[in-house]
Amino acid sequence: MSANLDNVLLLALANNDLDKFLVGEPFYFQEAKSDNDEPQNVVAAFDLLVVRYWQETRDPQFPGCFVAALLKILATYPDRNRAIYAAAVWVWYYRFCLSKKRTNPDGLYADLFEIDMGAVAVALQKQLERNKAALVGDTRWAGAGWNSQNGLWGPLMRTALVVRDKLGGPDFVPANI
């Protein structure tokens, strides 16, 4: 893959900032046409950058780095709700892509790497449980009034249930649902 300044994933990898890419910090935000405000355009970032990077490099370290970056944001990112929300969306979309890989083995995701997200699920579940009150009061992104009556909590619970019940896990549904 040629290094080009428009590819924020390559820049994040070169700068050891994959965590910042995942949460969509301004320098690493993936521009994409979207009707909804999001901390990172995960679908576009995954399809246009992550999948392409994987297809072109087969970098054996990337899957582990992806998991490590998710764990890092859940453990250390200062905006807890942003970290939780971003991690949940990345896990959801990754699992969605794996489901597409299984139903269309010759499609875009045919060669998508498969990684164990168990540690991410455990960390995400703990963060959801610890931060429920703050998430209920957070009306950013999918927590906006047009989409939720209980801030980010409602969309995050829907996402957790879809990942567990429809996309084959990992289970990060909190005990205090």
The CATH number given to whatever domain includes residue 147 is 1.25.40.520
64 located within any domain: yes
CA nearest 117: which of 91, 142, 98, 93?
Answer: 91
pLDDT computed for residue 2 by the predictor:
44
144 located within any domain: yes
134 located within any domain: yes
Q: How many domains does the chain have?
A: 1
172 located within any domain: no
pLDDT computed for residue 5 by the predictor:
52
Max intra-chain CA distance, the chain: 46
pLDDT computed for residue 4 by the predictor:
55
Stretch 30-49: mean pLDDT: 89
Distance, in Å, from the CA atom of 177 to the CA atom of 129, rounded to the nearest integer, reads 8
Two structure tokens written together for 79: 């905006």
174 located within any domain: no
- Phi, psi dihedral angles at 69 (to 5 degrees): -70, -40
b/e per residue, 17-54, with b = 16+ CB within 10 A? bbbbbbbbbeebbbeeeeeeebbbbbbebbbbbbbebb
Q: Specify the pTM.
A: 0.95
Mean pLDDT of all residues in the chain? Answer: 94
How many whole angstroms from its chain centre is CA 3?
Answer: 23
Distance, in Å, from the CA atom of 87 to the CA atom of 23, rounded to the nearest integer, reads 8
Stretch 112-117: mean pLDDT: 97
pLDDT in tens, 143-165: 999 999 999 999 999 999 999 99
pLDDT in tens, 84-109: 999 999 999 999 999 999 999 999 99
As a whole-number percent, the residues of the chain with pLDDT over 90 amount to 90
**What domain range includes position 90?**
8-165
Stretch 33-39: mean pLDDT: 82
pLDDT computed for residue 1 by the predictor:
44
Contacts of residue 5, Cβ cutoff 8 Å, sequence gap at least 6: 11
pLDDT in tens, 49-75: 999 999 999 999 999 999 999 999 999
1 located within any domain: no
pLDDT in tens, 4-17: 557 999 999 999 99
